[in-house]
């Protein structure tokens, strides 16, 4: 795929010109991301992931590998192999995002009064780099940065600036931002720090011992994929003979704009994600290397 910008492209995405009539027509009659949410829930056996994380931490690195790192890397590789998951619809047109970006929140301290910061990691979908090490190194950098008491993320700094202006001016500014984004004119400096302009927004609810299976999408921005990561629990798994085995598992709740692809595409994408979580060593391979199911 050429990286050269062509007519109709945005600063953050490439215009998709070859679409079937149904997908061309859908944004005209099914207007709005929040009105077209497809919700999927998957219970995932985490046995292999736990073993993998233990191996990675065997040398006692200062910044530990976690389940969250593995899930992020698996999601990134899945998106690289299933490019429609990186599509978004804006102004009734389809675009493919220029890179793979994962957004999540970081709690500076686990107390009610501690603020949250927004973090974004980005991966090159055409790179030969390992998604595991790319995610790990970037998460380490952003977490260490935002957990400093005097540090904020770019999005929080921008919101803090806007909230200092009078409310009637703020309403106008927000309407202007929607207009600029709709036409692809929103400044790239804002897009690159905004979690709602990313491929996937992840919420690690398991880290606070909380379970949930659904989170809505938003009309602001271009984010078309939200993932909730549940709490690790012992779950029953049955084999083809009906025998039961108790394993460590968690539930993934995924909300996707159903207009970007059909149900079969989403199901086949989930199969790849589960394959990667059942064999995390694959995440050490290049992000664009195919996976055999």
DSSP string of 180-197?
Answer: HHHTT-S-HHHHTT-GGG
Residue showing tokens 């106008």:
172
In this structure, the number of other CB atoms found within 10 A of the CB of residue 14 comes to 19
For position 42, what pLDDT does the model report? Answer: 95
For position 1, what pLDDT does the model report? Answer: 44
* Tokens (6 digits) for 246: 């108790």
pTM for the predicted model, two decimal places: 0.91
Domain boundaries along the sequence of the chain:
13-284
Residue numbers in the chain where pLDDT is lower than 50: 1-2
In this structure, the number of other CB atoms found within 10 A of the CB of residue 107 comes to 15
For position 2, what pLDDT does the model report? Answer: 46
For position 151, what pLDDT does the model report? Answer: 58
Residue showing tokens 């400096």:
189
Segment 194-216, tens digit of pLDDT: 999 999 999 999 888 888 889 99
C-alpha span between 153 and 151 (Å, rounded)? 7
The answer to whether 38 and 258 are in contact (CB under 8 A) is yes
* CATH class name, domain 13-284: alpha beta
Beta strands in the chain (DSSP E): 13-15, 37-45, 87-90, 93-97, 100-107, 116-123, 200-204, 225-229, 233-238, 244-257
């Amino acid at each position: 795929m050429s990286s050269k910008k062509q007519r109709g492209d945005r600063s953050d995405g490439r215009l998709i010109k070859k679409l079937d009539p149904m997908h061309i027509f859908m944004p005209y009659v099914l207007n709005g991301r929040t009105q077209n949410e497809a919700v999927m829930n998957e219970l995932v056996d985490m046995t292999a992931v736990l073993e993998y994380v233990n191996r990675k931490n065997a040398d006692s690195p200062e910044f530990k590998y976690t389940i969250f790192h593995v899930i992020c890397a698996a999601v990134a590789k899945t998106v690289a192999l299933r490019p429609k998951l990186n599509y978004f619809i804006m102004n009734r047109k389809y675009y493919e995002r220029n890179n793979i970006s994962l957004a999540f929140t970081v709690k500076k301290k686990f107390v009610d009064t501690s603020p949250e910061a927004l973090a974004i990691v980005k991966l090159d979908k055409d790179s030969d780099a390992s998604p595991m090490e790319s995610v790990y190194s970037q998460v380490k950098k952003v977490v260490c940065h935002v957990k400093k008491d005097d540090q904020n993320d770019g999005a929080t700094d921008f919101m803090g600036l806007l909230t200092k202006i009078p409310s009637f001016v703020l309403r106008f500014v927000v309407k202007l931002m929607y207009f600029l984004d709709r036409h692809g004119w929103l400044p790239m400096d804002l897009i690159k720090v905004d979690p709602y302009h990313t491929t996937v927004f992840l919420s690690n609810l398991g880290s606070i011992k909380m379970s949930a299976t659904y989170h809505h999408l938003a009309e602001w921005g271009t984010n078309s994929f939200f993932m909730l990561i549940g709490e690790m629990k012992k779950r029953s798994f049955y084999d083809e003979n009906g025998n039961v085995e108790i394993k460590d598992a968690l539930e993934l709740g995924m909300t996707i704009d159903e207009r970007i692809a059909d149900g079969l595409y989403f199901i086949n994408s989930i199969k790849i994600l589960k394959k990667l979580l059942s064999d995390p060593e694959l995440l050490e391979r290049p992000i664009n290397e195919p996976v055999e199911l």
